[in-house]
Structure formats: C-alpha cells, structure tokens
Amino acid sequence: MLIFLFRRFQKLKEKFIPLIRLQFFDDRIQEIQRDIAKCPTEIENLERELKGKEEAFREDIKKLEELKKKRREIEREIQDLEEKIRKSNDKLSNVKTNKEYRAALLEIEELKKLKFDTEDNVLQIMEEIESLEKICDQNKRRFEKFKKEYELKKKAITARMKALDDDLNKTIKKRDECTLEVDPELLKKYNFLKDRKGGKAISAVIKGVCQSCNMGIPPQRFNELIKGEKVLTCPNCDRLIYWGDDEALNDIKQEHVC
C-alpha cells in the first residue's frame, strides 16, 4: 500500500514538474517583456534631458547674440552723437549773438551728457556679455560632455534591448518545448487561469500559505496537498497549487528551470 501511494505521489509530482517549469518560463517572459518595455522610455528620458540642455544652451547663445547686437546699435548711437557734437562745435564759430552762443554750448553739453550715459550703458552691456560668454562656454562644455554620456548610455540601452530580445526568443522557445511535456488537461486549465490571473496560474504553498494570494490553506486541503493524491487549487485565488516545502520537488524544479 505504501509503495502504491508513493508511486501515485511520484506520478503527480512528475505531472507538476513541467507545469512548474512552464510557470517559471511565463514569469521570465513577463519579466523580460517588462524590461524591454522600459528601454524606449529610458531612451526617451535621455533624449528629453539632452534636448532640454541643448535648448538652454541655445537660449544662452541667443541672449548673447542679442546683447552683442544691442552693443553694436548703441556704439552706432555714440558715433552719431560724436558727429552731432562735432557739428555743434563747428556752429560755435558761426554764431552771431550771445544767445545763439549759449544755446550752442547748451546743446553741446546735453549731447556730451547723453554720450556719457550711452557709453556707460555700453560698458554695462559689455560686462553682461563677458559674464554670459563665460556661462555659455561652461554650458557648452557641459552639454558636450552630457551628449557623449547620452551616446554611451543610449548605446548600452540598445545593446541591452538586443540581449533581452535574444533572451526572450530563447525563453519562448523553451516555453513552447515545455508545453509538450505538460498533461493536456492541466495545460488547458493552466492557460485558462493564466489569462485570468495576471499570468500567474500556479502557486507554491509554503508553511500552509499560498504564495500568490498570501492566504492560509485549510488544514484538510493542506494535508491532501502533502499527500499528493490529486491536483488541487487554492480555495481563495483558485490557482493550481503545489507543496512548496517539498525539497525534492524544489530541487527537480530548479534543475529543470535553470
């Protein structure tokens, strides 16, 4: 009788081995797919950061060019003022009355004051240009450094995507091979549960607790699970369950999955 029960247990265990392997392959496929899905987002984030740094750098360059343009315009204003001052000085030799003379002097003084204020404005702009040129130079070096880092990171992500894609194809192939080893009825039930349980159709029960829903298995069902006489499901989440504390089963499982 003991031999008969042992053989039944072994037979059930052998039916579960490929099923457990199948769940591991499906878990791995989901994990790889999640990792692959993250890669484009990582590249997009890098590109967004690169674009932001480039736009900030270009904006500083634009401000610098605007300041230089403004400086040239004011320098032309100074030249115009100098020409007006020269002409006003020439007028002094042609004035006929004291009133005209005082008016010409006043005009020259006002032009000189305006020229002084304008020159002071140019000096301020030149200081701004000098400061902004340093900032632009620093930002240019930082941008170029980040661009190199971006290229390296993008290359690494692309390589990781390829490696993940290769791993995915290999895992899918192993998964397909594994389905041939699963009992057809169990496979049908497994696929039904997998589609409705977020990809998790089978769960280990460790120390009397289902590892998928974290609910305790009733003592009677847990005892039946240990006996291994029939395929059981978790009364809470309805997933197929196996005795996760069975060291022999875990050893075989790891051997076949790896």
Q: Could you give the percent of the chain with pLDDT greater than 70? A: 90
Region label for 182, one of left (φ > 0), alpha (ψ between -120 and 50) or beta (otherwise): beta
**CATH top-level class for 30-180?**
mainly alpha
Q: How far is CA 173 from CA 5, 56, 88, 177, 191, in A?
A: 35, 48, 95, 6, 17
Domain span(s) for CATH 1.10.287.1490 in the chain: 30-180
187 in Cβ contact with 179 (< 8 Å): yes
Q: Grade residue 230 by pLDDT with cuts at 50, 70 and 90.
A: confident
Residue 41 has pLDDT above 70, yes or no: yes
Q: In the predicted model, what is the mean pLDDT of residues 196-202? A: 93
Against a cut of 0.85, is the pTM above it? no
Q: What is the pLDDT of residue 249?
A: 55
Q: What is the pLDDT of residue 10?
A: 60
Q: What is the pLDDT of residue 90?
A: 85
Calpha distance 171→166 (Å, rounded): 9
Residue 219 has pLDDT above 70, yes or no: yes
Residue 159 has pLDDT above 60, yes or no: yes
- DSSP assigned state of 212: T
| Helix %, strand %, coil % of the chain (to 5) | 80, 5, 15
Give the SS3 label for residue 116: helix
**pLDDT tens track for 45-102:** 999 999 999 998 899 999 999 999 999 999 999 999 999 999 888 888 787 888 888 8
Concatenated DSSP letters of 147-206: HHHHHHHHHHHHHHHHHHHHHHHHHHHHHHHHHTTS-HHHHHHHHHHHHHTTT--EEEEE
53 in Cβ contact with 236 (< 8 Å): no
* Closest by Cα among 79, 106, 112 to 91: 106
Q: What is the pLDDT of residue 91?
A: 82
Calpha distance 85→108 (Å, rounded): 6
